[in-house]
Structure formats: C-alpha cells, structure tokens
Chains A and B, each alone.
Chain A
Amino acid sequence: MKVDQILALPSMPAACPSYPLGPYRFVNREYMIITYETDHELLRQAVPEPLEPNPEGHVLYEWIRMPDSSGFGDYTESGVVIPCLFEDQPINFTAQMYLDDEPPISAGREIWGFPKKFAYPKIAVNSDTLTGTLHYAGELVAMGTMAYKHQVSPGGPEALAKSMTKTQCNLKIIPNFDGRPKICQLVAYNLTEINIHGSWLSPARLQLIPHVNAPVADLPIRKVLGGKHFIGDLTLPHGRVLFDYLKDQKP
C-alpha cells in the first residue's frame, strides 16, 4: 500500500476501514427523549469547563433508533445529554452514549469525540407504551417509558426541525502512542438537512441504575419533566473545534 493510499484512508483497519468519509445521512431516525431535573453540584462536575451547565439543572436521557444510516448500517443508541452554555450561547453537551454497532462507535469517538461505548440499547412499542431499555455488560442500567403519541408537539415539524439545528458538542480525547493526550478538544457540530416526519409529547417515567462503567445514574433523577418522541431524516456533517485544551489553555 502506497503513501498516497494510506493518507486517503478514512479509518482503520487499512484492509477494511471501519467507516467511510462523511457526511452521514440518517433516514427514519426515531428519538425518545426524557427530560429530568438533577442535582446542580453533580451536574457541574459532569460538564467540562469552559462549558457551563444549564441553570435549571436539566438533563436529557435519550434513546435513538437508527435503522438506515449511511456508512454505519442499522443500530440503536442511548445516553445522556446535558444542555449547557458556551460563551453564553446554548449548546448541548453529550456526556455518555451507548450503542450496539462498532463503526459508529469508532467514527463517533475518533472524528467528533462522541463518548461512545458498546452496549445493548433498545426501543420498542410494547402495547400502549414506548419503552427504552439499556443493558451494559449484562445488566439493566436504564429504563424509560413514555405514553404513546398522546399529544402532537406544539409548532409541529417546523419547530422541532429548528430546535434540532441547535449546536451540539463533545469532549474529544485521543491519547498519543505514549499515553499522553494527543487530542483534547471540545468539538461542535450542527445537524443539517433535517426533515421531521412527526413529533409528540407525552408523560414519561425514567429509572437509572448505578453501574460503574455505564454511570447514567450518577446524575440522579430529582423529577421527570416529560417525554418527547419524534421521527425524522437528518445529516451529520463533520465537526469544528470549539476549544482546544492543549492550545487554548490559559495558565
């Protein structure tokens, strides 16, 4: 393999790269998001400076079903998102993500710094209930339930599509071969080409179970505020560096 071929590789392994070059198009992507209120002090610890956690102490617990994703295939994801402020502008920080497919884990971690681990999330419509579960290393660590399509969300698809353009960010950490940090950045991205098929608000309940390697319960539930369920198509483009801990660090 020649040097120009090596530099054109999108990812490892050279023999069969885990993921191709982006952007990545998702069709029929289904979300279930349960918003809850947590402990302010614990939330502060879970958010890296210079991000500031939202003053209300809100956390979004999400399940996402992705049956048709270019480059990645068919998979399901679950995790924790924290609404934050960066230089006083609203931004969503992805704190934890669990999914059942390696290419989006590797691409997620290596391109944008999505904090992804391998686990078994699931979304299902069971009788009258939209149910999300997450199993990590054989144990149930999260269960969310939502009443099924009780109320169409106000503003309809347009309002939801607009809300989904909100800037999102991750903390990307890639070590050097000697273990020292090589990349340590806040990486931002914005979803594009959003087409919402439907969105609903409904009552919800959420249970998070303590687990050391999937610590979703480290941000405890003080109060569940409600659930949002929506389906749409969208594109995940590459990202941009918002803050570089190795370069922008002030003494």
Chain B
Amino acid sequence: MKKSEVLQLPSMPLQSPTFPRGPFRFFKRQYLIIGYRTDPDAIREALPEPLEPEGDEVSLQWLDLPDGEGFGAYSAAAQVIPCRFQGKSCNFITQMYVDNTSPLAGGREIWGYPMKHGLAKLDTASDTLTGTLRYAGVTTATGTMTYKHTALAEAVDRESALLGKTQVTLKIIPGVDGRPEIAQLIGIRFTDVQIIGAWTGQARLELHPSVNCTLADLPVRGVTSGLHMVTHMTLPYGELLHDYLA
C-alpha cells in the first residue's frame, strides 16, 4: 500500500479498518437513564479540572443501539456526571462499557469515550425495563424502571434538553513511549435528534464494587429519576475544549 493511501485510512488495521469515517447516524437508539444522588466529594474527585461540579446528582445510563452506521448492533452502559465548563452546563462521560470493538475503538480513538468491553443489556423483562452490566464475569450494575407508565410532553422537552447538552470526554492516548501524546477535553454535540418516544417512571439502581468497572465509586445515595426514551440521532465529530499538553 502506498504512503498516500495509508494517510487515507480511517483506522487500523490497514486491511479492514475497525471503523469508517463519521458522522455516525443511529436509528432506534433506546435509553434507560437513572438519575441518582451521590457523594459530592466523589464527584469532585472524578471530574477532571477545569470541569466544575454541578450539584450532587449523576446518572447511570443503559443504551440499546440496534442500528448504528459503521458500528452495527450493540449495547452500552455509561456513567454521566452533569458539570460545568466555562460556566456552561454539560455532561462528563466518566465510564462507558460496550460489547463491540468498532464503537469501542472508534469511541476511544476519535472522541476519547472512556470505553471498556463489558456486557451491557437493556431488556423489557415482563413489566420491567431492566438494565444490567456484567464486567469480567460478574454483575456490576442492575437498574430497573417501570415500563412506559408516564409519557409526558414535558418529558420530551426534558429529553431534548438532555441530548442537546454538550457531552464532554477526557481523551488520553499515549505515545509509543507510554507517556501521553493526546490529553484533551473533547466536546460532542449530537445532531438531527428525533425523539420517537419518552417516558418517566419509578426506578431503582444497584451498583456493585468492582476494581476494573468502578461505577460504585459514585455510590447511590438515593434514586431521583427514571427516564426511558427512543431516538434517532447523529454522532458527529467532536470539538476541542481544552488541551492539557498545549
């Protein structure tokens, strides 16, 4: 392969790039979002400077992604910390678990989504919307929500506001010597968001301590909300918010 062709590759490996170029459109992307109160000191510890905490609520989210351009079908779980960057509200993605290499490698390498391989599952089990996460053979999170109890126009607005917020990730890529070559805060704004349905309801959440899947390091002090929604949306490239090496 010629040098000029090498520079056109979207990703490794040369013979079958793991992910193509973006943007990436998602169809029927389903969310279970459980909001909960946690320890403010733990939030402060988990948020990279210059992000500032905003209250004591965080969320655990399950995503079912049956149809993602370039990525295929997969499931994910994420822990999200609402925070502030230069006075503006945004969502810091602190941990994410997926069961598919394309979005895992693409997520880490393009935007710095903090993804590891875990088996997340979002299922309608009888009358319950159930999210589970297994990491290295053990269950590390279980969330349950009542099934479509309350569909509110207000909920749709709330979802739009939530998906309209800038997501922030801490992208770290080492150089060949192991020291950081990229250390940046990246901002991501979904585009062309269509809400197909959104519901609120009662929810419960259990997080199990695990050293390589540390969701329980932001302990559950009380569940504050349950949200269920189905959307179409586009994940575009990101923007640089802060460069730690500049």
Contacts and interface: CB of A to CB of B under 8 A. Distances in A.
B239 A48 contact: no
Nearest to B109: A174
A213 B214 CA distance: 32
A239 interface: yes
A117 B18 contact: yes
Contact of B182 (A46, A181, A182, A246): A182
Given A183-B173, A185-B176, A249-B3, A16 B184 contact: no
Nearest to A241: B176
Contact of A14 (B48, B186, B213, B238): B48
A174 B47 CA distance: 25
A241 B64 CA distance: 39
Given A16-B95, A46-B1, A110 B212 contact: no
Contacts of B217: 15
Contact of B12 (A45, A103, A115): A115
B108 interface: yes
Given A48-B3, A118-B101, A179-B110, A13 B176 contact: no
A245 interface: yes
Contacts of B7: 181, 184, 245-246, 249
A218 interface: yes
Residue picked from B11, B172, B239, most chain A C-beta under 10 Å: B172
Contacts, number: 190
A111 B49 CA distance: 25
A174 B180 CA distance: 13
Interface string A32-55: 000000000000011111100000
Given A49-B1, A175-B110, A240 B176 contact: yes
A111 B182 CA distance: 11
A140 interface: no
Contacts of B94: 13-15
A150 B170 CA distance: 52
A45 B5 CA distance: 10
A118 B18 CA distance: 10
Contacts of B184: 177
B111 A177 contact: yes
A21 interface: yes
Contact of B14 (A11, A116, A171): A171
A47 B7 CA distance: 14
Interface string B210-239: 011110010000000000000000000111
Interface of A: 1-3, 6-7, 9-16, 18, 21-22, 45-50, 95-97, 101-103, 105-106, 109-118, 170-179, 181-185, 187, 212-215, 218, 238-241, 245-246, 249
8 contacts: A10-B178, A12-B170, A15-B214, A95-B15, A105-B101, A177-B240, A179-B22, A183-B173
